[in-house]
Amino acid sequence: MTQNKAASISSRPQQPQELSLTARRQCDYLTVHPPPPLLTLTASKSSPASPRSPGRSPMLMMPERGRKKDPSSTATASPYYDSGFSESTTSSLGKEDDDEDDLYESESESDDDDSSCCGEDEEDACCPSTPPSSLSPRRSKPLFAKENTRPQEGEKDDILSQEEQEEAGEDGEGEEAVNPKETDARDAYGFKRPTQWVNLKEQLRFERQYRSIQARQQIKWDKLLAEHNNELPPVCPRLIRYVRKGIPPSLRARAWMHYSGASAKMELNAGLYPSLVRTAEAMGEEHNEYAEIIHRDLHRTFPDNEHFSLQYDSSNSHADDPGALPENMQALRRILLAFSLYAPQIGYCQSLNYLAGFFLLFVEDEESAFWMLITTVHDYFPSNMYDVTMEGAHIDQMVLMMMVYEHLPGVWRKISSGKGFWDCVESDGLPCVTLVTSHWFLTLFINILPVETVLRIWDSFFIEGSKVLFRTALTIIKLNEREIWALDDPIEIFPVLQNRPRHLIDCHRFMKKVFSRSGVGADLSDVEVERRRVLFRDRRRQQRSAAAKAMSKPSKAATLPLCK
């Protein structure tokens, strides 16, 4: 009887196995838009080889190693930053994000293990998401809340992990007494606290707890430097893991200058910056077409920062005189004028003032800020990013929208009105949401995310390259996924993506999301970003060539013989 039953079962026709999500996405990708062949990347010709050159990317040399989650560990569900990140949001991101990659491995594991993988996933764990069925009830708890409430009695404060709280000497119950000096309206960098977006009490609470994280990172970095004779070590998995957790403020300027290659540029071009400044001053506004625009934008650069604010009073009748400007404003003016001479093909573009001003706040001197600006524009961004055509900015938005189409199809259907990616590219152009996301890239998230969060993004950006920007942008969109699904008009996505990121004050937890194994775009690399940039750049070049040929071709009427 048993044998007959087994025979009958084996004789049944086998049901076709369903393809995995990864296989389905790859099939869809290949059928919709076949990728171009892989490219061999070389280091930038405009600068000496730096540790982050694509051809020497440390992420390409990392050994792959998986790490199983400890089944005994439990994750807590409490607000993860001021925005009220809740259980509903965690469920929308797939599995719980306490299942993090090796980047945020337990401190009990050796930080000296350079063979560990820093966040590069072995398989594509970021599955495409789709909007919920219309029959499924929406969660009533909003994705982002304007204010965060104090944790309930006995509830763990999730800004720090349990181990981090123990090391920092905090138990997570209640809050410390507020230092009267901490209630100042400005943060440590001179910016006014964004109380219109984030509760002041929440800001102060996070800053106190984040200082303990910075103190622990300082100890680790001191040990790392001691092992290399007080020199910054070469790029390796251990360094990338430390950088993703945050560079200590005392080492940030030195690390940015070294790993970006700006320090090498400044040494090779000693004396160039002062010479450019003298030339720009001698030219004046009459012979520099960008001088007037630069001067006008000085007052728009960080007006809420005490280092750039201009105090007007009855005696200040020469506010427009460059000599009457605050020192940082004068330095910013000199940097932008020198840049317009160094890169005449760009001259000046709005957004450069924010980059240069931010560098002035965090690097050692004015000349270092100039070379950081030069390196960022020429070595990290695609060509024509800031020139009149802004072709590089448009190409990066095409790359980002393709990634949204592949990784977040539910969001894509909402912002594209149900059209396919290539249909939009060939007919109507990119979705209007790129008017917002292009600003993210042009300013490197300045005035989009809180200052401390921007600093953490820049830490990784200058080590790992452009993929950090795309992973950050995709993460922001992913966090607002359910909010976008609920919109009736694609235009309504503008305030969502403009205002919601301002609530992300907990930079530590946000960077965990960006580099999580299960995060969106976890399989993204700098090589893949550059490959797609070349794809769209070549397409635009072919379109221009075809248009030029069509214009130069004589019309049929012009070739007809005249009647006698």
Highest mean pLDDT among 64-73, 225-234, 423-432, 492-501: 225-234
pLDDT at 154: 41
Distances, alpha carbon 355 to alpha carbons 53, 273, 410, in Å: 21, 17, 33
For tokens 């409430």, the residue is 149
Q: Give the C-alpha separation, 352 to 373, whole Å.
A: 8
Residue that wins the pLDDT comparison between 307 and 178: 307
Q: Is the pLDDT of residue 11 over 50?
A: no
End-to-end CA distance of the chain: 102
How high is the pLDDT of residue 550? 81
In terms of pLDDT, which residue wins out, 27 or 237? 237
What are φ and ψ of residue 447, in 5° steps? 65, 10
Q: Which two tokens stand for residue 489?
A: 């008009």
Q: Other CB atoms closer than 10 Å to residue 21's CB: what's the count?
A: 13
The most confident of 122-126, 138-142, 294-298, by mean pLDDT = 294-298
Q: How far is CA 140 from CA 88, 144, 550, in A?
A: 9, 12, 56
pTM of the predicted protein model = 0.71
Amino acid at 233: P
pLDDT for the residue 197: 84
The more confident residue out of 236 and 71 is 236
User: Long-range CB contacts (< 8 A, 24+ apart) of 301-306?
Assistant: 301/329, 301/332, 301/353, 301/354, 301/357, 302/191, 302/354, 302/357, 304/191, 304/192, 305/189, 305/190, 305/191, 305/192, 305/361, 306/186, 306/190
Residues 118-122: contacts with CB within 8 Å, 24+ apart? 118/59, 118/62, 118/237, 118/238, 118/240, 118/241, 118/244, 119/240, 119/241, 119/244, 119/515, 119/516, 119/517, 119/522, 120/59, 120/62, 120/64, 121/517, 121/522, 121/523, 122/64, 122/65, 122/66
pLDDT at 297: 94
CA distance 555 to 87: 65
Of 281 and 149, the one with more pLDDT? 281
CA distances to 280, 281, 308, 364 from 277, rounded to whole Å, are 5, 6, 20, 18
50 compared with 427, residue with greater pLDDT: 427
Residue 159: pLDDT over 50: no
pLDDT for 321: 66
What 8-state DSSP symbol labels residue 378? I
Tell me the longest C-alpha to C-alpha distance in the chain.
106
Q: Which residues contact 112 (CB under 8 A, 6 or more apart)?
A: 238
Locate 160 and state its tokens.
Answer: 């720090």
Query: By CB neighbour count within 10 A (0-12 exposed, 13-18 middle, 19+ buried), where does 410 fall?
Result: middle
Checking if the pLDDT of 531 tops 90, the result is yes
Residue 546: its pLDDT value, please?
83
pLDDT above 80: residue 373: yes
- H-helix segments, 16-117: 21-32, 87-92
Question: Which domains, ranges and CATH numbers included, belong to the chain?
Answer: 200-252 (no CATH), 258-311+324-380 (1.10.8.270), 391-546 (1.10.472.80)
Q: Which two tokens stand for residue 261?
A: 């290659």
Span 113-135, mean pLDDT?
Answer: 41
Query: Kindly report the CA angle at 388 between 454 and 296, in degrees rounded to 5?
Result: 65
Give the Cα separation of 245 and 224 in Å (integer).
14
Mean pLDDT along residues 43-62:
39
> pLDDT: is 133 or 454 the higher one?
454
Is 92 in contact with 481 (CB distance < 8 Å)? yes
Is the pLDDT score of 275 beyond 90? yes
Residues 478, 403 contacting (CB under 8 angstroms):
no
List 186's β-bridge partners, or say none.
192
CA dist., res. 187 & res. 306, Å (int): 10
Banded model confidence at residue 48, pLDDT cuts 50, 70, 90: very low
pLDDT tens-digit series, residues 343-358: 999 999 999 999 999 9
Residues 6 or more apart whose CB falls under 8 angstroms from that of 464 comprise 52, 59, 240, 526
Distance CA 210, CA 509 (A): 11
Most confident stretch, 131-135, 481-485, 545-549: 481-485
pLDDT of residue 468: 97
CB atoms within 10 A of CB 134: 6
Q: Model confidence over 179-210: pLDDT tens digits? A: 544 456 788 899 988 878 888 888 899 999 99
Query: What pLDDT score was predicted for residue 423?
Result: 84
pLDDT at 335 over 50: yes
What does pLDDT average to over the chain? 74
Tell me the pLDDT band of 286, cut-offs 50, 70 and 90. confident
Contact between residue 127 and residue 517 where contact means Cβ atoms under 8 Å apart: no
Assess contact for 379 and 47: CB atoms under 8 A.
yes
pLDDT band at 311 (very low <50, low <70, confident <90, very high): low
**For range 42-54, the mean pLDDT:** 41
Percent of the chain's residues with pLDDT above 90? 46
Q: Which amino acid is at 120?
A: E
**397 within 8 A of 437, measured Cβ to Cβ:** yes
Q: CA-to-CA distance for 36 and 16, rounded, in angstroms?
A: 31
The Cα–Cα gap between 253 and 236 comes to 19
pLDDT tier at 131, thresholds 50, 70, 90: low
What pLDDT digit, counting tens, does each position of 495-511 carry? Answer: 999 999 999 999 999 99
